Amino acid sequence: MSIFSNILTNLKAAIAVVAARERSWTALLVIVWGRLSRMVVRMERLIALWRAGKLPPVRASVAGRGGMTGERVRLPTAPAWLVGYVQNAGAFAAHIENLLTQEEFAAFVAAVPQAGRILRPLCRMLGVGFRVVRVPVPKLVGASAPVVPRGGLVVGPDGRFLWA
């Protein structure tokens, strides 16, 4: 499964070319380049632990707990936003889509929920596997939540985008 590392290494090379040419985008693209580097390291570690049968327990989400101090850089959140900056990124999106359909990698992603925390931001950057589905707002206060198709971007009751 080193193909994941190869895809992201080549994507980082394409980003470096654009960052050197377009000075106004350099700061953003350097941040993305560093994030992709961390994704490769985290994914390789997870794959090695999965193969050895020594996966760490799944942690609860820490989103919204305010545990981070200091200023955090916010990247764009629109689907396929990186393709707007780096034209060649669309080709890497196709490679990621192909990788996600391969049997071994699909088994890995199904067995290791931590891989989703790495893959979701990457897929969002490249526009891989996005289906926007409107979730109806329940009319009754005590009504159960609507059934949402899994594996796509949905618009929640409050109008914010959620990953289902």
Asked if pLDDT for residue 27 goes beyond 80, the answer is yes
Confidence band of 135 (pLDDT split at 50, 70, 90): very low
Q: What is the pLDDT of residue 39?
A: 94
What is the tens place of the pLDDT at every residue in 44-72? Answer: 999 999 999 988 887 776 665 655 555 66
94-134 pLDDT, tens digit each? 999 989 888 888 888 888 888 888 999 999 999 987 444 44
Q: State how far the Cα of 102 lies from the Cα of 13, in Å rounded to an integer.
A: 24
| Other residues' Cβ atoms within 10 Å of the Cβ of residue 8 | 20
Q: Which residue pairs from 18-22 have beta carbons closer than 8 angstroms and sit at least 24 positions apart in sequence?
A: 18/85, 18/86, 22/85
What is the model's pTM? 0.70
> Is 132 strand, coil or helix?
strand
Which residues, in sequence order, are bridge partners of residue 163?
Answer: 153
Confidence of residue 76 (pLDDT cuts 50, 70, 90): confident
Joined tokens for residue 80: 């396929």
- Provide the CA 139 distance to its chain's centre, in angstroms: 33
Side chain identity at residue 71, one-letter code: E
| Share of residues in the chain with pLDDT > 70 (%) | 71
Tokens of 74: 């916010």
- pLDDT score, position 132: 42
Antiparallel, parallel or unpaired: β 132-134 and 153-155: parallel
Rounded to 10 deg, the angle between the 114-126 and 89-101 helix axes is 140
Mean pLDDT of the chain: 79
Q: Are the CB atoms for 86 and 15 separated by under 8 Å?
A: yes
Query: Does 41 score more than 50 pLDDT?
Result: yes
pLDDT of residue 73: 72
Longest CA–CA span in the chain (Å) reads: 56
pLDDT above 80 (res 139): no
Report percent pLDDT > 90 for the chain: 32
Is the pLDDT confidence value at 14 over 80?
yes
Mean pLDDT score, 139-158: 55
